[in-house]
Every structure is written in structure tokens, then in C-alpha cells.
Chain A
Amino acid sequence: MSGCGAVVGGVSLDNVDITNQAVIQGVISSGNAPASVGYARLLDRNDEFVAEVPISKQGEFRFFTVAGDWTVVALVPGANSRTPVQATIGKVLDVDISVTK
């Protein structure tokens, strides 16, 4: 049994078969540099919470999902932002998000 814990920055793509899933990943920046503290939250097409990961020290996050419309919410101390994305099975979608405080 594997747990449900969220790995900082998201689970590595190593040894993951991405042909049967859609990957949404990216970097959250605050000011002109990657945010070092914060969270990336994924919402579904109805704005329902689906998942959340603490970002890495380099601001990175990654989600594994299915095709469709999703929203990535960036949460950093004192600010947040929403970024709509469209994911495709078998593709890695890179989304870089800049958050303004």
C-alpha cells in the first residue's frame, strides 16, 4: 500500500509511465525568483480541490491527472494566483506561474 502523501515539488517522473496520464508541472515564481515556500493546488473544471503539493526550494510542482480543463492555484505567503490549463494524456504540460505580492 502506498500512502497519499504529497512529495515536495511533486513525484519524480522517473519510472512513471506517462503514456496513460496527463502531467501538469511547472515553477512558481515570486518577484523575479522561484518561490522557495508555498504550495501548488490543482482544481477540477468545477473548481473542486483535487490535489496539492508543497513546492520545492526551486518553486517546482507536478501533478498527474487525466485529459481536461484544470486550474493551478499558486499559494505563497501573502499572495496567490490562478492559472487555467488544459491537459492531454501522454503529454507533459509545463506551466510557469508568476505570483505578484
Chain B
Amino acid sequence: MSNQALVDAEWALAHLDDAKVVFIEVDEDTEAYAGNHIKNAIALNWKSDLQDPVRRDFVNKEQFEALLSAKGVSNDDTVVLYGGNNNWFAAYAYWYFKLYGHGDVRLLDGGRKKWELDGRELVSEVPSRATTKYVAKDQDRSIRAFREDVLKAIGTQNLVDVRSPDEYAGRLLAPAHLPQEAARIGGHIPTAANIPWSKAANEDGSFKSIDELKALYEGAGVDLKKDTIAYCRIGERSAHSWFVLHELLGVKNVSNYDGSWTEYGSLVGVPVAVGDEPGSA
């Protein structure tokens, strides 16, 4: 697949020692990076680095600047993100870097899983990078949706629920690698189409071809001329789908609802659909 937003292992291998290319592993589980990682890669933690420690929100512009400055990332660096979970959290970080206006950010196709399954080298040495003075832009709200945007979109714009069919229908309350919680209701936002993120990925975690990706969304009857909001449970799987639509297929009017089902499914008085059908507005 040829796209500047996506790099493959050969490209990565040719740039592992390039000082202006910063490889960043993004996981929720920091033990993965601590165990081993791609040579010269640094790490970001999806939660402790990128989430506000008190409120449910992102770190603000100043905090993001301080984070990247401390990590030794410059504004003119090429940032290459990769991670576990089929690049869920790396795609989330990609969207996050775009949100704060980083110029050149890319995703390693297949992430950590494909790298491992292909038997490529992982190392334990942690590189040191000199601190920088990173300057972020204001958040690009065109790629981030909030609950008000979602409520307005019901029945009028595209809502794409990228969770598994059983989560969409309300039969599962979380991905099956996590205990099933009992306190939150199950279901989906009415009129949302269910196009699981996994349909965009091959078994090794790499993205399917552009033609296959186009066919996936067109086949699901999503009119991409309309605005589209993608969501999942907490916004990382939908960042993967946002990446497919916005970065690989070039659909510009797509945003990610990072509040996702953990927020929507806890709201009082909003419409909810259960079962396998989208439901009505």
C-alpha cells in the first residue's frame, strides 16, 4: 500500500538510525515497551501520558508541549507510531498528534504484532534524546466529535460503530479480552452502522488494500459525502477506523468520538438501540 501516512517494515528499517525520525511505541501496557521494542524507539503511555490525570479529557496544549519536549521530539521530526493491539493505541496517538497539529506523523503498518510475527529484531536498550522546545497547535476540532455532535448526527449524518457485532448488539459490554462489566448498559447509538475496525485489517494487523477498504465502506452503505463520526468503547479502535477513512481513503469530513460508548452508554435520557439492526432516529 502506498500512502505517506503509512510506512512498512522496509521503510522503518532504513530509518531506524535517522535522528529526524522518531519511532514511538504506544501501548496501554508499558511492560510491552520495557520488555523490548524497535531499535531507538521511545514510548508513550496511552493513559498516563496522554490523558488528563483528573478529568476525563486529553492533556491540554501546554501539557502536550511539555510531554513531547521532555521526550525529545521536535516539530520538524517525522514521528512514526506503532504499538500492540493491532495498532489501536498507535492509531489513537496518530489521531492525537494530528489533533495537536504535528506536521509529519506516520503509522507503521501492522504495528508491533506484524513486526514480532515477521521475526524482526526487538531490543531492550532505551535511547536518550535531548530535550526540545516543542510547540503544539490548538486542537483541530474538525477531527474530534463530542456528545452534542453525536446527538445531532442521529438519523442525519453517518455514525459508524466500529466495535464487534456482539458489543454493537449489546450482547457483550467490553472486548472479550477484558472482564465483562455489569454496570453499564449495552447497545449502540441509534442509526449507527456497525463496521468493525477489524474488517479493515489483515490477520497480521496490517491494513487491507485501498480497493478492499473502499469496498468495505461502500458495501456497508455509508454515504461518505455526509459527515461521519466513528466511535467504539473509548475511542482507540475508532481512531483506527478514522485513520482508514481520513488518511488512507482521503475522506476529509470524518471525526472520532473519543467519549464513545463509555460516555454515551452512561448518559441519562439519550436514545439507545439494541440488537443487530441500526434502529431509527
Contact = CB atoms under 8 A, between A and B. Distances in A.
Interface of A: 1-8, 10-11, 16-17, 20-21, 37-39, 41-42, 44, 46, 48-54, 62-66, 73, 75-78, 80
B28 interface: yes
Contacts of A1: 56, 234, 262
Contacts, number: 110
Interface residues of B, number: 41
Given A1-B56, A5-B89, A46-B165, A64 B116 contact: no
Contacts of B179: 11, 16-17, 21, 64
Given A4-B28, A5-B27, A7-B29, A63 B116 contact: no
Contact of B171 (A4, A66, A77): A66
B196 A49 contact: yes
Contact of A64 (B89, B171, B178): B178
A80 B203 contact: yes
Interface of B: 27-29, 31-32, 46-47, 56, 84-86, 88-89, 113, 116-119, 164-166, 171-172, 174-180, 182, 196, 198, 203-204, 232-234, 236-237, 262
Given A64-B178, A77-B118, A3 B198 contact: no
A49 B182 contact: no
7 A-B pairs closest in CB distance: A5-B28, A49-B198, A51-B176, A51-B177, A3-B28, A65-B176, A63-B176
Nearest to B118: A77
Contacts of B234: 1, 3-4
B176 A50 contact: yes
Contacts of A80: 203
A4 B172 contact: no
